[in-house]
């Protein structure tokens, strides 16, 4: 049975500590976009280029910046950052199934573990020796947790997450399905054309309030640990090499690859598909646009880009010819 979540305009405004105009008792049962919302939903206008949809939206309530309030005659919540308001309200309508505390009988758990009695462990999980799991954490179907792993409070491991031995998670960490934390870093030494494995002796330390997307991999350190600090947000299918250090509240979009021993600062934003070389440093507050290639340290905050946008094939051919000509001219 699905229980519909209902809030009044007044309740939502109070939740946001915001002013509102309109019917305080109108009921909101969900969230929709301005263009596709239906009666009973709340929507928001964050970018002025979408204001044309205010004339046709069927949303019962719209979240608006103060300067946009005169554009709409319906029920509104007034908020300086409507997108942030939407993010906060989304928590109230979260429809993920609630997990019940307890251990499923099919789970395999070593006797020497320390697991709080409020923890939920789903079917077919395998948990190794001396594992510690804190209060309120959820370990969903098919997760594998290696020996000596430590998991803080209110962690959420979606199905088929794998944590290798000695990995440490802080509080309120969410890891989505298919992610592997603590696999060996890509370390090899060459002996007369033959690669000799460097055994990885470090681990992975993940701070509080970190979210890791599906199928993301974070390698353990070679000697020291790979470190992901508090509040970091990682998208799907990111590769983080051994001994990488990512600072607090940095956000990284999907398909980015970060080579080993790179240090990324705090409050950085890294777009999708970025490639970052190893053994470099990126300063606090750096923004890197998607598809960029970062080959050397970025020592000052700012916006960086290196990709060439798509263009017609014939145009690209002419651009390539010009690039070759420039190289040849420089040689001459």
pLDDT per residue as tens digits for the range 6-30: 999 999 999 999 999 999 999 999 9
DSSP-derived secondary structure letter, 4: P
Is residue 132 located within the same domain as residue 87? no
Residue 160 maps to a domain: yes
Work out how many domains the chain is built from and give that number: 2
Residue 184 maps to a domain: yes
Instruction: Exactly one of 176, 242, 245, 267 is catalytic; name it.
Output: 242
DSSP-derived secondary structure letter, 53: G
Is residue 120 located within the same domain as residue 233? yes
**Tokens 């009988």 -> residue:** 105
Domain ends where: 251, 286, 316?
A: 251
pLDDT per residue as tens digits for the range 199-219: 999 999 999 999 999 999 999
Q: For residues 204 and 158, give the distance between their C-alpha atoms in angstroms, rounded to a whole number.
A: 19
Catalytic annotation present for 242: yes
Domain ends where: 28, 60, 93?
A: 93
pLDDT of 1 reads 46
pLDDT of 96 reads 86
pLDDT per residue as tens digits for the range 124-162: 999 999 999 999 999 999 999 999 999 999 999 999 999
Is residue 26 located within the same domain as residue 87? yes
Residue 256 maps to a domain: no
Three-state secondary structure call for residue 11:
helix
Range of the structural domain that residue 176 is part of = 102-251
Is residue 34 located within the same domain as residue 174? no
Domain ends where: 205, 227, 251?
A: 251
Residues pairing with 163 in the sheet = 145, 181
């Amino acid at each position: 049975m699905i229980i519909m979540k209902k809030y009044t305009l007044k309740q939502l405004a109070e939740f946001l500590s915001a002013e509102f105009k309109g019917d305080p008792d109108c009921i909101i049962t969900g969230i929709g976009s301005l263009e596709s919302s239906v009666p009973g939903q709340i929507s928001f206008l964050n970018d002025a280029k979408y204001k044309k949809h205010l004339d046709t939206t069927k949303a019962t309530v719209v979240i608006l910046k103060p300067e946009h309030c005169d554009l709409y005659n319906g029920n509104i919540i007034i908020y300086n950052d409507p997108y942030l308001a939407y993010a906060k309200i989304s928590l109230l309508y979260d429809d993920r199934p609630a997990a019940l505390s307890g251990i499923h009988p099919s789970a395999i758990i070593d006797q020497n573990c320390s697991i709080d009695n409020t923890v939920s462990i789903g079917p077919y999980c395998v948990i190794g020796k001396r594992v510690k799991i804190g209060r309120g954490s959820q370990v969903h179907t098919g997760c594998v947790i290696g020996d000596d792993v430590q998991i803080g409070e209110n962690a959420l491991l979606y199905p088929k997450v794998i944590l290798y031995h000695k990995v440490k998670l802080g509080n309120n960490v969410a890891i989505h399905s298919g992610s592997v934390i603590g696999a060996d870093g890509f370390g090899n030494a060459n002996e007369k054309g033959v690669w000799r494995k460097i055994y990885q002796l470090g681990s992975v330390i993940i701070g509080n309030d970190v979210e890791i997307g599906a199928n993301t991999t974070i390698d353990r350190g070679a000697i020291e640990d790979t470190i992901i600090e508090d509040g970091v947000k990682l998208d799907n299918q990111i590769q983080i090499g051994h001994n990488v250090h990512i600072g607090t509240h940095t956000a990284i979009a999907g398909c980015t690859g970060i080579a080993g021993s790179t240090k990324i600062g705090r409050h950085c934003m890294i777009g999708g598909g970025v490639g970052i070389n190893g053994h470099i440093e990126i300063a606090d507050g750096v923004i890197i646009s998607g598809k960029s290639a970062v080959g050397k340290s970025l020592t000052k905050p700012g916006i960086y880009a290196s990709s060439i946008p798509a263009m017609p094939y014939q145009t690209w051919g002419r651009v390539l010819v010009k690039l070759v000509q420039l190289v040849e001219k420089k040689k001459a």
